[in-house]
Amino acid sequence: MSTIKNYKEAARIIIENAGGKENISGCYHCVSRLRLDLKDVDKVNLEPIKKLDFSGALINGTQLQVIAGNDIYKLYNAVESILGPEVTSGEVAEDGSAVKPKLSINSMLFGFFGGIAKCMQACIPLLIGAGMLKGFTLIFWQMGILTDASPTYQVLMFACDAAFYFLPVFVGYSAARNYGGNPTLGAFLGAILLHPTFIAMVNSGEPITLFGIPVRAVGYSSTVLAAFITAWVMCKVQKFIAKHSPDMIRSVLEPFGTVLIMVPLTLWITAPIGDYLGIALKVVLEWIYTVAGPLAPAIIGALIPFLVITGTHLVLGSIAMLTLATTGMEFILMPVALLHNFVHGALSLAIGLKAKNKEIKTTGLSCVFTSFITGISEPSLYGLCLKFKSAMLGVIAGQFAGGLYFGLTHTGICTMPGGGLTFVSLAVYLGADISNFVNACIATVIGIAVAFIVTFILYKDPKETAAADA
């Protein structure tokens, strides 16, 4: 925030115009946006929130998003201090029934992917750390510093692989905590799917049954959906048992009843549903590549700025997480999403160098820093692209060109990126063949160059042509 430094006051205004504390069912954030889950979006008054010294605010489904950029952590802490822990504790109405947001196809879609995004948020640091260490380990192996027979290489590889192999345990823990259940029970159900005995039974090829009912014999290591759906159902079961258990035996009946119901339910129903959804996702992505080929990331890349404006890029991030967990790499969505920050840095530099208007020049040069260094594109997107057609054309052209190269070379990420330094994000391409990283760097340079050239050629200061470019 450049002029308003009172984050407490900004938080108060946001909460008040979001319909008050009683209208907010959840609060979290990504690298640049404050996200408030709402029970009734009709109670929101956006205009006072938009007047705050942030980059914008919008409603997406049943969620209010405030684009705070570099101020996100201070703003989130201020909002969280006002809302308190009751935001995620599962409030009830006056009649004792659960308070539920209005349901619609849009709200259910974003609720599903939003839930995955929230539970994966806690897992991302783990995946980043392990993924990057594995990438550097493979680089040392390719350079001959480490060999297959080296104990150091073997230990580092299995240590890094553990973060991905045991992903159902971490997802189960995080999802259960997110939905108000016992996190360790969620982790336990994820661990069942990875038990050595179950894995041996799957590998044997013999039919597996529980109480005479067939169990789907598949491996669930490194998957997300099976544990996520299982934990969500577990929370419903646990809350039901807790509500109907006598106080004297609740501490025993609640965990025992939950485990008794969920163990067979997990193996019969919820985990297989997650597996089938994962297969369906893989089929859809393969179909997209079959139909669109290398144009797939190019087209999605060109659409990224519009997805960010509407806030629907959150869905892409969730799909990318699922794809990465299912296939080990992701080729369509995250490469162009990461390219987006570089492209904004390039178009901002072009405007900063060419603009004669002092205010626009200052905005452009400051956006170079936020885009290239901090990895936040919203200041450039809202401060330049929505004001100047040349800037929007620059970002679309840069995204398309870089995305096309990503598609032609079939280059993808090997681990999920995190927030922070833009150039550090290139490390997510480490872990496959070294050509994957090289091609990612080339695609990034192409995107930067095209965005800069297009914007520099087309941009004209609004003082010269106020109607043509503004």
Residue found under tokens 């159900």: 189
Helix, strand, or coil (residue 213)? strand
Q: Which two tokens stand for residue 260?
A: 């008794």
Give the pLDDT confidence score for residue 465 in this predicted structure. Answer: 45
Give the pLDDT confidence score for residue 379 in this predicted structure. Answer: 74
Query: Would you write out the chain's pLDDT as a tens digit for each of its 470 residues?
Result: 444 458 888 999 999 999 998 898 888 776 677 888 888 888 999 889 988 878 778 887 778 888 886 677 788 888 888 887 555 433 334 333 344 555 555 556 566 766 776 777 677 778 767 777 877 787 788 788 888 889 998 999 899 888 888 989 999 999 998 888 899 999 999 999 999 999 999 999 899 999 999 999 998 887 888 999 999 999 999 999 988 888 888 889 999 999 999 999 999 999 999 888 878 877 777 787 778 888 989 998 998 888 776 655 656 766 777 777 777 788 888 898 889 989 999 999 999 999 888 888 888 888 888 788 767 777 788 778 878 889 999 999 999 999 999 999 999 988 777 555 566 678 788 876 788 889 999 999 999 999 999 999 999 887 554 444 44
Give the pLDDT confidence score for residue 311 in this predicted structure. Answer: 57
Domains of the chain from N-terminus onward: 7-102 (3.30.1360.60), 166-290 (no CATH), 293-469 (no CATH)
Residue found under tokens 């039974």: 201
Alpha helices in 329-388 (DSSP H): 334-354, 358-372, 378-380
Give the pLDDT confidence score for residue 305 in this predicted structure. Answer: 86
Give the pLDDT confidence score for residue 470 in this predicted structure. Answer: 44
Give the pLDDT confidence score for residue 422 in this predicted structure. Answer: 61
Query: E-assigned strands of 336-466?
Result: none
| DSSP letter (8 states) at residue 413 | B
Helix, strand, or coil (residue 123)? coil
The whole-angstrom separation of Cα 55 and Cα 146 is 47
How does DSSP assign 270-328, residue by residue? IHHHHHHHHHHHHHHHHHHHHHHTTHHHHHHHHHHHHHHHHTTHHHHHHHHHHHHHHHS
Alpha helices in 55-123 (DSSP H): 72-83, 105-121
* Length in residues, the chain: 470
